[in-house]
């Protein structure tokens, strides 16, 4: 309530004051909570219409039955039981869905750790070493370069670089470091992680940078004056204050990588399983309920990860 | 407007019962299609849904010139075309799709069978479609969804395929081809004669197959049969045990690192082959041509077990009626009248009506593409670029030789759901 009233006062001081003081003069009075609803309303409606309702449909459809050409609106757990097929029977081996999620989580963790590391230092450089605002803007725009080309072109462009007869391999062979071309450079987990990091580091840089520029410079000076080393300042001042940015960036990266199947597909030579890929295969075979069930599972797992992360940092408090 | 809404209601019921979201889309687009009847009284416009195979700009331009019908292409992948027919039947007029998807599309009741009597050249359509044999009388392998099995419906609104010829045709044939493995002869350096070579450890890390489950598994089955491990009753309609067996062989190969990558898209297959990432893979004829036009040796290798074939054709959406239906017939008739057929033949596909296409091609072109004779002159693509130098011979030879050696057709299996699950397992292995 505190925050909403402060926001309200900033937004429309007249209205808020009106409701308190000039009670008798105004015939129509709007209570502050009503105004809050009014302000939040449009966004809520959009959220409801384009997110919650479609999501509810996905959940409902995931419990339907289907045949080759239509959905059968009768309750059926088939989408789920098919998905977890063999998970108990095949123990101790992992079933398809288990293997798929293990692989997805592994890729997700690697990409997250690397983008966080790179993103943090890029943001650090931008926030503390680049003094001019213009340069800060210009350099952060540079980070968007990977998005200037379409996904397909970008993927195709990796082949001449990392391929069997690509630049990297021919370079290494000329220097005599290797005799045979290195095969794992392309269509491997390595290339998937490389492409995802290349794409999504930007999503780490922006929120972390945003948190860092808001750190009061006098705090860093105070730490310096109190005799803290650079490392101590980093660990005890900068990282704690940049936490919201780190968490937001992590949420971006994790949610995108968990659902990705295009990059994993193309860079993994379509041979690496991904949670999103299962959904796509099911959709293409017109098995909508099975696809919906997989989407619900993916959503639940992603949600779980996000919940754990927001346990570590209360974003709402920090913002 | 009430009438239009009523119509949408019917197709909605028959289509996806109760799928409010999807039906909403259908109803929404139905409301849009209501208008062009009035608006387009002067300009004849047909919305043409299909894959990129037939959708040449030259074809639509020529069609506009000859018939005054403006074609608006809606291009999608094979899977997405089917998806669109099922969920948004009012978003297109003419449908260009493959015969194997009919097993899904026809029971949905979203398409209108065309009347054979209104197709001028129907009797001249190659017997490949109607009888399952080449014009020279060679019997064609019928495993999978062979077009002659699903060419006719029992009645106008029937959802059952007729066993003998009727006047209600599911898809008016347009284009087809026989697919096989593409190879890089310069890198393999020895003759390749069997599908089993795809899993030969010699090509470890240099092989690839198509990542469309229903088609990929048929290529896999060709390989399994070629290695002598198993003989299928029908590669296009496997039992669960057969699916397990096929996927087991493929999974072992995948784990051993046989495959470099799987491809899904025309350009992907071209890139894999041209860059030398793969030296042997399932491929499409124009993709082989494209690799060759880059100056890289690539052969569309005929194999002794035969080809896997595919075919596509035209039908119209259930929602099409009145003058629009007449234009659709006019368009289909135009398509079979020669220009488009010659255009497709020159890309290495085959046209459904051979006689009209022949009339539009130079004798030396016909001799090269269809008769398997050495090219008298340089062979050019429809856009004028050089495809083959004089003296070269088409891989696999003549039409008779290639179509006569077809072993199976692209298919949707009865156990499709199981197969898709197994395919996901294969990818995760």
- Check CB contact under 8 Å for A69 and B107: yes
Q: Does B282 touch chain A (CB under 8 A)?
A: no
Classified as helix, coil or strand, B30 is helix
- Check CB contact under 8 Å for B262 and A285: no
Looking at A192-201, A250-259, B262-271, B361-370, which range is the least confident one?
Answer: B262-271
Closest CA to B108 of A75, A286, A58: A286
Closest CA to B265 of A128, A265, A176, A292: A265
Closest CA to A65 of B11, B240, B106, B16: B16
Q: Can you tell me the distance from the alpha carbon of A214 to that of A127, in angstroms, rounded to the nearest whole number?
A: 9
A273 CB neighbours in chain B (<8 A) are 424, 427-428
Burial A165-182 (b: 16+ CB within 10 A, else e): ebeebeeeeeeeeeeebb
pLDDT at A27 (0 to 100): 66
pLDDT at A292 (0 to 100): 94
Closest CA to B170 of B344, B1, B349, B311: B311
pLDDT in tens, A269-295: 888 999 998 999 888 888 899 999 999
Q: Does B389 touch chain A (CB under 8 A)?
A: no
Residues 6+ apart with CB under 8 A from B422: B243, B244, B247
Q: Does B417 touch chain A (CB under 8 A)?
A: yes
At A318, is the pLDDT very low, low, confident or very high (cuts 50, 70, 90)?
low
**Which among A85, A269, A286 has CB closest to B82?**
A286
Q: Does A91 touch chain B (CB under 8 A)?
A: no
Q: Does B109 touch chain A (CB under 8 A)?
A: no
pLDDT of A146 above 80: no
Q: Which two tokens stand for residue B305?
A: 């077990």
Using omega within 30 degrees of 0 as the cis cutoff, is the peptide bond preceding A92 cis? yes
Q: Does A69 touch chain B (CB under 8 A)?
A: yes
Q: Does B421 touch chain A (CB under 8 A)?
A: yes
B211 CB neighbours in chain A (<8 A) are 270
**Which among A57, A103, A270 has CB closest to B262?**
A270
- Check CB contact under 8 Å for B275 and A163: yes
Q: Can you tell me the distance from the alpha carbon of A101 to that of A275, in angstroms, rounded to the nearest whole number?
A: 6
- Check CB contact under 8 Å for A271 and B254: yes
Q: Does B228 touch chain A (CB under 8 A)?
A: no
At A137, is the pLDDT very low, low, confident or very high (cuts 50, 70, 90)?
confident
B16 CB neighbours in chain A (<8 A) are 70-71
Closest CA to B88 of B80, B100, B99, B96: B80
User: Which has more pLDDT, A30 or B248?
Assistant: B248
B83 CB neighbours in chain A (<8 A) are 283-284, 286
Q: What is the mean pLDDT of chain A?
A: 85
Nearest CA in chain B to A53: B21
A156 CB neighbours in chain B (<8 A) are 267, 271
Q: Can you tell me the distance from the alpha carbon of B174 to that of B114, in angstroms, rounded to the nearest whole number?
A: 14
pLDDT at B21 (0 to 100): 42
Residues across chain A:
319
Neighbour count for residue A151 (Cβ, 10 Å): 13
Q: Does A280 touch chain B (CB under 8 A)?
A: no
Residue matched to tokens 């990818």: B427
pLDDT at B180 (0 to 100): 95
Q: What is the pTM of this model?
A: 0.80
Average pLDDT in the A69-88 region? 86
Long-range contacts, stretch B123-130, CB < 8 angstroms, 24+ apart: B124/B353, B124/B354, B124/B355, B124/B356, B125/B173, B125/B336, B125/B352, B125/B353, B126/B173, B126/B350, B126/B352, B126/B353, B126/B354, B128/B176, B128/B311, B128/B403, B129/B173, B129/B176, B129/B311, B129/B352, B130/B165
Q: Does A287 touch chain B (CB under 8 A)?
A: yes
**ipTM for the assembly:** 0.76
pLDDT at A256 (0 to 100): 93
Q: Can you tell me the distance from the alpha carbon of A32 to that of A1, in angstroms, rounded to the nearest whole number?
A: 10
Q: Does B426 touch chain A (CB under 8 A)?
A: no
pLDDT at A286 (0 to 100): 87
Average pLDDT in the A168-181 region? 88
Give me the DSSP letters along B115-141.
EGGG-TTGGGS-HHHHTSB-TT--B--
pLDDT in tens, B333-386: 999 999 999 999 998 899 999 999 999 999 999 999 999 999 999 998 888 888
Percent of chain A with pLDDT strictly greater than 90: 43
Q: Return the half-sphere exposure (C-beta side, CA atoms, 13 A cut-off) of residue B80.
A: 11
Burial class (CB in 10 A: 0-12, 13-18, 19+), B294: exposed
Residue matched to tokens 């129509």: A28
User: Which has more pLDDT, B379 or A29?
Assistant: B379
**Which among A70, A85, A96 has CB closest to B428?**
A96
> What parts of chain B have a pLDDT lower than 50?
1-40
Contact B413, B214 (CB under 8 A): yes
């Amino acid at each position: 309530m505190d925050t909403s009233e402060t926001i309200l006062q900033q937004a429309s001081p007249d209205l808020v004051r009106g409701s308190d003081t000039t009670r008798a003069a105004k015939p129509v009075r709007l209570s502050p909570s009503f105004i809050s609803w009014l302000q939040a309303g449009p966004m809520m409606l959009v959220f409801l219409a384009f997110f919650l309702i479609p999501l509810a449909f996905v959940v409902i459809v995931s419990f339907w039955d289907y045949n080759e050409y239509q959905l059968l609106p009768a309750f059926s757990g088939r989408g789920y039981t098919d998905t977890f097929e063999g998970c108990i029977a095949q123990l101790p081996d992992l079933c398809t869905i288990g293997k798929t999620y293990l692989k997805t989580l592994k890729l997700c963790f690697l990409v997250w750790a690397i983008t966080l590391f790179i993103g943090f230092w890029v943001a650090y450089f931008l926030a503390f070493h680049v003094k001019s605002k213009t340069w800060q803007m210009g350099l952060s725009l540079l980070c968007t370069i990977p998005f200037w080309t379409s996904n397909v072109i970008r993927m195709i462009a990796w082949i001449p670089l990392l391929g069997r007869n690509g630049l990297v391999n021919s370079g290494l062979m000329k220097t005599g470091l290797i005799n045979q071309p290195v095969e794992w450079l392309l269509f491997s987990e390595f290339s998937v992680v490389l492409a995802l990091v290349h794409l999504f580091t930007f999503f780490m840089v922006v929120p972390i940078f945003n948190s860092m520029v808001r750190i009061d410079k006098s705090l860093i000076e105070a730490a310096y004056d109190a005799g803290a080393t650079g490392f101590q300042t980093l660990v005890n001042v900068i990282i704690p204050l940049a936490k919201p940015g780190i968490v937001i960036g992590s949420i971006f990266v994790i949610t995108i990588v968990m659902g990705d199947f295009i990059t994993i597909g193309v860079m993994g030579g379509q041979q690496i399983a991904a949670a999103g890929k299962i959904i796509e295969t099911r959709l293409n075979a017109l098995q909508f309920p099975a696809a919906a069930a997989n989407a619900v599972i993916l959503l639940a797992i992603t949600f779980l990860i996000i919940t754990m992360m927001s346990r570590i940092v209360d974003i709402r408090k920090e913002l | 407007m009430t009438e239009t809404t009523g119509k949408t209601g019917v197709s909605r019921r028959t289509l996806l019962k109760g799928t409010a979201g999807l039906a909403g889309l259908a109803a929404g687009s139905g409301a849009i299609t209501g208008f062009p009847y009035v608006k387009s009284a002067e300009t004849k416009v047909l919305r043409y849904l299909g894959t990129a195979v037939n959708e040449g700009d030259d074809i639509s331009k020529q069609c506009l010139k000859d018939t005054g019908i403006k074609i608006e292409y809606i291009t999608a992948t094979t899977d997405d075309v089917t998806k669109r027919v099922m969920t948004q039947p009012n978003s297109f007029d003419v449908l260009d799709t493959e015969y194997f998807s009919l097993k899904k599309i026809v029971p949905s009741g979203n398409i209108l069978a065309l009347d054979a009597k209104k197709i001028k050249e129907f009797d001249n359509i190659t017997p490949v479609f109607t009888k399952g044999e080449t014009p020279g009388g060679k019997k064609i392998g019928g495993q999978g969804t062979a077009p002659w099995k699903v060419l006719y419906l029992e009645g106008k609104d029937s959802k059952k395929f007729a066993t003998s010829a009727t006047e209600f045709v599911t898809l008016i044939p347009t284009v087809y081809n026989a697919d096989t493995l593409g190879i890089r002869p310069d890198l393999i350096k020895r003759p390749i004669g069997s599908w089993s070579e795809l899993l030969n450890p010699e090509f470890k890390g240099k092989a690839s197959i198509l990542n469309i489950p229903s088609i990929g598994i048929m290529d896999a089955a060709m390989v399994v049969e070629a290695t002598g491990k198993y003989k299928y009753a029908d590669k296009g309609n496997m039992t669960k045990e057969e699916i397990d067996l096929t996927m087991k062989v493929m999974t072992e190969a995948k784990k051993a690192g046989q495959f470099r990558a799987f491809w899904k898209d025309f350009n992907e297959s071209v890139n894999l082959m041209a860059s030398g990432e793969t030296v042997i893979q399932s491929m499409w004829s124009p993709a082989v041509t494209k690799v060759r036009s880059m100056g890289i040796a690539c052969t569309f290798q005929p194999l002794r077990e035969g080809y896997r074939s595919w075919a596509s054709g035209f039908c119209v959406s259930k929602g099409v009626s009145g003058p629009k239906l007449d234009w659709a017939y006019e368009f289909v008739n135009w398509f079979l009248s020669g220009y488009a057929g010659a255009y497709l033949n020159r890309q290495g596909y085959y046209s459904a009506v051979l006689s009209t296409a022949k009339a539009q091609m130079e004798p030396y072109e016909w001799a090269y593409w269809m008769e398997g004779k050495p090219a008298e002159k340089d062979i050019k693509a429809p856009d004028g670029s050089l495809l083959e130098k004089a003296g070269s011979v088409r891989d696999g030879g003549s039409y008779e030789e290639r179509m006569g050696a077809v072993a199976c057709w692209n298919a949707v299996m009865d156990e499709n759901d199981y197969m898709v699950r197994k395919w996901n397992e294969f990818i995760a292995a």
